[in-house]
Amino acid sequence: MTKNKNPSIKINKTQLIWACENNMSDVALALIATGESNPGRINSDGFTALIWACYNKMSDVALALIATGKSNPSHIRNRTYPYHIKFGLQSISALEFACKNEMSEVALAIISTNKLPSEQINKVFRHCLYTEMSDVALALIATGHLIQPIFNDHNFSGTYLTVVCQNNLSEVAMALIMTGKSHPKFTNMDGENALFYACKNKMENVAFVLVAIGVSKPDFNNDYESNQFLNHILNKYRMTEFIAASANTGLTDIDFNEINDYVKLETQNAGKAKTKKGLFKGLFKGKPMRLHKSRKNKLQ
């Protein structure tokens, strides 16, 4: 019996997987168009056509595969052979390659399938924070499956919220705060927390909200630039009086409508006050709680 020398048969590749592995976009698109290309097939080596398309930055092919609804986007390839480790192919998914290659449109399409395990979501999220993929980070947060740990080791001490404030990603910071699980008050031994970096990067909306929910910057952190901006926030929005009047107020008993009335923008920016009010409603899902009467009296 003659041994079959075709490697595609040996490891169970389809023509579509072969075309994607070899970066043949036109061939891959033609195969997908036939409707008979078996786009979700996993070969014996653990690859799918979508993983190879994302690995080779074939955005048009990846989007066409996802559009079939059969691309198996949740598949995670697990292999530990030296060759795979050398080229970063040992434990990988299409979403991870899409994020590593900054293929935002493809990553968003994969996330929109709603078929991703939390393992994938949490693995790629941190990578998005160090690239210009805020839209992908926001989509990952919106899945509701993001786990937000406190990192405290020799490499990094902080939270995802710390990282996004450090990298000046205001929208992502606000989305993390909205989850109610971002550990906004966590401060490392160097006195660095989300508020410190929000002030350092002049993220006014983020700094405002962090102060409003009771986050403070440690006294021993004497960074001049961030201190100046924090004082600007406290003075501009009259936050010092509010903090003094509601020093022990928790997130569950603040009426953000009253805060909005009390902590006003400067007269010339009055039109933005409505935005702040809407922001607070979104932050706590439209269910503001009332201040205790004792604190309310102090505000009057």
| DSSP conformation letters of 85-154 | HHTT-SEEEHHHHHHHTT-HHHHHHHHTT----HHHHHHHHHHHHTTT-HHHHHHHHHTT----PPEESS
B/e letters for 109-119, b = 16+ CB within 10 Å, e = fewer, are: bbbeeeebeee
Which residues face 94 on adjacent strands? none
CA-to-CA distance for 251 and 239, rounded, in angstroms?
A: 16
pLDDT at residue 86 in the model: 53
CA-to-CA distance for 224 and 230, rounded, in angstroms?
A: 10
CA-to-CA distance for 149 and 153, rounded, in angstroms?
A: 12
pLDDT at residue 267 in the model: 28
Domains contained in the chain, CATH given: 1-146 (1.25.40.20)
pLDDT tens across the length of the chain (300 residues)? 334 344 433 456 799 999 999 999 999 999 999 999 999 999 888 899 999 999 999 999 999 999 999 999 999 887 655 555 555 555 689 999 999 999 999 999 999 999 888 888 988 998 888 888 999 999 999 999 999 999 887 777 889 999 999 999 999 999 999 888 999 999 988 888 999 999 999 998 899 888 888 888 777 677 888 888 888 888 877 766 555 555 544 433 444 444 444 444 332 343 343 334 444 443 333 333 333 333 334 333
